Structure 1
């Protein structure tokens, strides 16, 4: 997993819960990296799971809600650091439907060997998007948070339903209806 995911996560923890919480969750985790991350480095996903679990234990906030919170933060970091990606689109459905064909390709240019989830578009109209998320990491709530922020960015709203195709969350269908 690319280091930017870790550096932004720890930045969120510091902003929302304080530097002491960052130190605490790093100390509670058994991290090969010892919690020293660079945005371009590559680290084991198991480290993110440990940090997330320890943050959940210390805050009482469940993992899915933390992933939604993190996605909001991460979206803003992407928007600030890579505004050109966002300028290409005029509509959230258009942007979300291009995750696989454009956005992930741009991410891979910046972060070669990034291990990204896949999003297969099953159906798309001007107001509806149905797509399947696939990832061994099962971080679909992070994806949901990014989708919510995409609609917010375009000053519109949507109803997003989640159907687990695989119970462990490694394959999930998103049914998105623009309001």
Structure 2
């Protein structure tokens, strides 16, 4: 995984829990590199999971809730650092539909070795979108948080239902219906 994900998780944790707590948690997490991450590095997802689990153990906030909060954090990071991806998008569905065909195309150009998740979308009605997320990494809750944050960004609310997809592992179908 790209190092920027790790750097942003640590920034979120420091803002939430404080630098001293994060230092202590990283020390206890038994990380391969002792918690030294750079934005340009590549690191195994297992290290991210270790950090989330250690933060969960320290805070008593479930790993699932932490991943969702991190999804919200990352949308804000992307808006600040990559505003062009959000320009011209009329609503959250247009944004979500652009992930694979636009955003990931650009990411792949910059980082040809990146293992990107796949987002397949199908709009069933103006207020109903199905998004299938497939990834070799166990980050479904993170994805769910990013969907929620995307809806928030466009001042929309929705009922989001999830259904596991039999293959590949970690694939989930999000059934997203806008609400008034």
Q: Normalising TM by the smaller chain, what interval? A: over 0.9
Further displaced range: 3-12 or 96-105:
96-105
Deviation sequence 1:76-110 (CA, Å, 0-9, x none) = 11100111100131111111122111122223334
Q: What's the offset of the Cα at 1:58?
A: 0.3
1:139 aligns with 2:139: yes
Q: What's the offset of the Cα at 1:138?
A: 2.0
Q: What's the offset of the Cα at 1:112?
A: 3.9
Q: Is the 8 A contact 2:6 2:37 kept in 1?
A: yes
Q: Is the 8 A contact 1:33 1:43 kept in 2?
A: no
The count of aligned residue pairs is 179
Q: What's the offset of the Cα at 1:162?
A: 0.7
Aligned to 1:52: 52
Deviation sequence 1:109-167 (CA, Å, 0-9, x none) = 34442222111224443211112111121211111111111111111111111112249
Structure 2 segments unaligned to the other structure (5+ residues): none
Separation in 2 of the partners of 1:149 and 1:75?
A: 6
Separation in 2 of the partners of 1:98 and 1:89?
A: 9
Separation in 2 of the partners of 1:89 and 1:109?
A: 22
Separation in 2 of the partners of 1:167 and 1:114?
A: 21
Separation in 2 of the partners of 1:121 and 1:73?
A: 23
Further displaced range: 48-57 or 21-30:
21-30
Q: Is the 8 A contact 2:134 2:168 kept in 1?
A: no
**Would the alpha carbon gap of residues 112 and 21 (structure 1) be closer, same or farther in structure 2, given more than 3 Å must change?**
farther
Aligned to 1:67: 67
| 1:1-179 map, 5 Å | 1-166=1-166, 170-179=170-179
- Compute the TM-score of the two structures, normalised by the length of structure 2: 0.92
Q: What's the offset of the Cα at 1:35?
A: 1.0
Separation in 1 of the partners of 2:155 and 2:107?
A: 24
Q: What's the offset of the Cα at 1:168?
A: 9.8
Further displaced range: 121-130 or 134-143:
121-130
Q: What's the offset of the Cα at 1:169?
A: 6.3
